[in-house]
Structures are given as structure tokens and as C-alpha cells.
Amino acid sequence: MKTRCGDKVGIQMNTQYGDEVGIQMNTMYGNEVGIQMNTRYGDESRKETMLPQQQDQERVMYSEPNDEETQFANSDQFLFSEKSIRLGFIRKVYSILLCQLMVTCAFMTIFLYVHEVKEYSQKNIWLWIVAFVLTFVTIIAMACCETVRRNFPMNLIFLSIFTLCESYLLGAVASCYDAEAVLIAAGITAVVALSLTIFAFQTKWDFTMMGGLLFVFLIVLIVFGILAAILHNKILEIVYASIGALIFSAYLVFDTQMMMGGKHKYSLSPEEYIFAALNLYLDVINLFLFILRIVGAARN
């Protein structure tokens, strides 16, 4: 032990019992405090001298995360979970839509190439009426009743009934045109629908805010269609079909972005996969019908 008044006090003690334990403390009055402890049990540990400021930093370093860090981590985890749920929702919607379109194409093929079915549907008008009524009943039930479109398997049953009835009506309509015109219209519809879907996924424009405007255009289109049906003018019919194809093209982009969610202002809940598939199916079908009218009018 060494002591010098007014300067330093130093104490050092070393003890060895097969392994070393060393404790050293140095004190300077009015200047700084240093504490050093080294312990070795068979292996050497790192020696480190910590000042009071360093001790505070170490407490902060090894302390529990604060509320902001916890909130940030929870938000990242929530965003990752929401993104994975949304991707699963999109896959489910497009799987259902693909099944609907395959059933519709099968009905249209039967009506186009099996003349017995075509003649039978033309002679039995009551089938048209039944399919038409069931189509409206099922679509109103799915659109207005949340329990119908969300509860399994009721939602799939209603959607299947709607798809079968709508496919029958589309097959009957397609049988009134040449097979070549129907194939041309189907090809154009496929290209347009695929292009608009890619556009909806890539564009920065938010079409989800245009729902009210598109509904107004749809009302105008219905009134214009009634006028075109009364006048029976070829040019007016082509104009009507062109406007209809344009409106339902916009609806296809609108419904696609509603399904995507993300940064768009409005979006559908992941539980609404039946409603989302129904909207996209109606957009594609109506787009096909208007394009078919344009092709049919151009080919007389």
C-alpha cells in the first residue's frame, strides 16, 4: 500500500487459488474514479476500465427497448403479416376467377359447336327466364348480404349457381354470332384484360377514388343502351358498345386495385374474396359482350 496525501490513494490486492482473481482500485480526489475487476477461471477475460459516463452508456445499451423501438418492431411485423395475407387473398381471388372463366368458356364452346344444344335452348325460352332470374337473385344476395358472401360453403354455392346461370346466358348469346366473331372477341378481351391488369398493378394512379364517377357513367350507359335499342341504328350501336367497353375497362382497373389494397385509398377486406372474384368476373364478361357487339356490327 502506498499513500500520498492530496494526490492519490492506490490499493492493489492479488489472490491466486489455481486461478487468478485481481481487484484494483485507484482514486484521485477531485479528478476521476476508476474501477477495474478481472476474473479468470481457467480462461482470461477482457480487461476494461469504465468511467461513470461509460457505465451509463452500458446501462442504456443493455437496457430493455423503449416504447418507440417496440412499436416500430411491432409495426414491421404487422406490415409483413398484412402483406402475406393480401398476397394469399389475391391468389385466391384469381384462382376462383380462373375457374369461373373456364366454366364460361366451356358453355360457350358447347353452344357454338353442338347444334342440338343450340336448338334446344332456342326452343325452350323458359330456360333463359330461369337462368336470368337466378342470376339476379344470386348476385343481389351476394352483394347485399354479408353473411352469404363470407360464410363457407354458402358463398361458394351461391357463386357456383351464379356462374352456371351466367355461363348459360353467355353461351346462348354467343350462339347468335358466328364462331369466328366469338373467337375474335374472346381473343381481344383476353389481351385487353391482361394489359389492364398489369397496368393496374404497376401504375401510381389511384383508381379506387373513382367509384362514384364510374357509377354515374354506368347509369348514363344504361340509359344510352335503352335509346340504342329503340332506334336500331348501326352507328349508334357501335358507339354504345365502344363506350361500354371503355367503362368496363375502367371498372376492371378499379376492381383490381380494390383487391390489391396497399397504398390505395380504398381496398377490400381479405374476407371478401368471393365478392372480389365476382366483381372481376362481371368486368371481364361485360367487356367481352361489348367487344362482341362491336365485332358483330363490323362483320354485319
Residue entry with cell 368471393: 274
pLDDT confidence of residue 267: 66
Long-range contacts of 161-166 (CB under 8 A, 24+ apart): 161/134, 162/134, 162/135, 162/138, 162/278, 163/100, 163/103, 163/104, 163/281, 164/103, 165/130, 165/131, 165/132, 165/134, 165/135, 165/138, 166/104, 166/131, 166/135, 166/281, 166/285
| Chain centre to alpha carbon of residue 272 | 11
- Residues paired with residue 24 on neighbouring β-strands, in sequence order: 12, 36
Q: What is the pTM of this model?
A: 0.69
pLDDT confidence of residue 67: 53
Do the strands 8-16 and 20-28 form a parallel or antiparallel pair, or are they unpaired? antiparallel
Burial of 151 (0-12, 13-18, 19+ CB in 10 A): middle
pLDDT confidence of residue 16: 42
pLDDT confidence of residue 23: 41
C-alpha cell at 222: 344504361
pLDDT confidence of residue 17: 42
Mean pLDDT by 10 residues, the chain (300 residues): 44 43 42 42 44 49 48 46 74 89 92 86 86 90 81 86 92 87 91 90 80 88 88 85 92 86 67 85 93 84
pLDDT confidence of residue 162: 92
